[in-house]
Every structure is written in C-alpha cells, then in structure tokens.
Amino acid sequence: MQKIDKAEFMGLPYIVEVEKREGRFFLVIPELSLVVSADDIATAFEALDRAKQELFEKHQELDRLADLPMPKKTVARAKLKKSLMPFFIKAATVAVVGAMLIGAANISIIYTLQTSPKKLALYANRVFTKNFVAEFDRLHREEMTPEKKAQIRAAIRSAIPILKPYAQELRPLFETALEDSKS
C-alpha cells in the first residue's frame, strides 16, 4: 500500500463480516485481522473504527504504513485493470492500423475513379503491348521448331475470319492515325 493519511485509510472499503453469537455482535475485517465485539451493532462498529484507527497509528509510529494491506476489492480491481491494459493497447493499435488501411484504400479508389478512362486505357495498352512484344521476343530468341511455327500460323489463319469484322469497323480509326502521322 502506498503511504496514505488516516482519513483515506478509514474510508477504504474493507469487507466487514458480522456474526451474532449468544446476544453479542462480532465484527471482523479479515484483511486487517481485526476482531471486535459488543452487545449492540452500533457499538460494535464504533469499536471497529477505533481498532482500525489504532492499527493505523501503530503502523504510522513504526513508519510501516506500506505494510497495511489494501482491501481485496481494490486489489482485484487494480489487478484486473493491469491485466486488461495490454489487451486495450493491442485493440487500439489494431483499430488505428485498420483505419489507416481503410484510408489508404479509400484514397486509392478515389484516385482510380478520378483518373480518366482514357489514361487507364492508354496505360493498359502500353502494358499489353510491352508484354506481347516481350513474349514474341522471347519466342524468337528461343529456337522455334518448324512445328511451333506451323501451329502459330494455323492459329493466326483460324483467327482471321473471327477478327475480320472488327478490323473493318476499326479501319477508319487506323486510317486517321496514319494520316496524322504523315502530316
């Protein structure tokens, strides 16, 4: 127990056990090992207060107030608070990190939505073209067997009828691009 004054000590919530035996009241504070008795309950409580004061004064004379035990409820509450503190710190940390992740995701989504679709399409086109060309370079660097070359040609031939209608619809776009590059 930390050093406290007499008024604080007298106000601490110690548990008092009351027993009535043969017309006498016995009051006990187990934490302080105090026992008093009286014929009526009011007198017994007054005697208990006096015994508590005397105990405090004796410990004060010896400068041993720290040896006085705290009430069990107070000690239990302090232990509970101490044991739950790491949980609350971890929970707060998780909440802060979660909020930061949600905020970062929100900023990313807002940026994506604000970026024009044209820029996104151009970026996707660059990535696709780069990957497509890189894959063809890789195939060219490795020795292609005649069977592989024949398979690729067959795949392109079979894709032409499927792609031809789309190519015809896109022809004006390519013609405009060619005219712009010539001028």
Domains and their CATH numbers in the chain? 6-70 (3.30.160), 145-183 (no CATH)
**Cα separation, 57 vs 60, whole angstroms:** 5
**Cα separation, 66 vs 1, whole angstroms:** 5
**Cα separation, 39 vs 1, whole angstroms:** 33
Give yes or no for residue 177 having a pLDDT over 80: no
pLDDT tens string 51-109: 998 988 888 888 888 778 878 777 677 788 888 888 888 888 999 998 899 988 888 88
φ, ψ of residue 145 to 5 degrees: the values are -80, 155
pLDDT score of 75? 67
Whole-Å CA distances, 3 to 54, 63, 67: 16, 10, 10
Give 50's pLDDT tier (boundaries 50, 70, 90).
very high
pLDDT tens string 144-168: 778 888 888 898 888 888 888 887 8
The pTM assigned to this predicted structure is 0.41
pLDDT tens string 111-153: 777 766 667 677 777 887 888 778 877 777 776 778 888 888 8
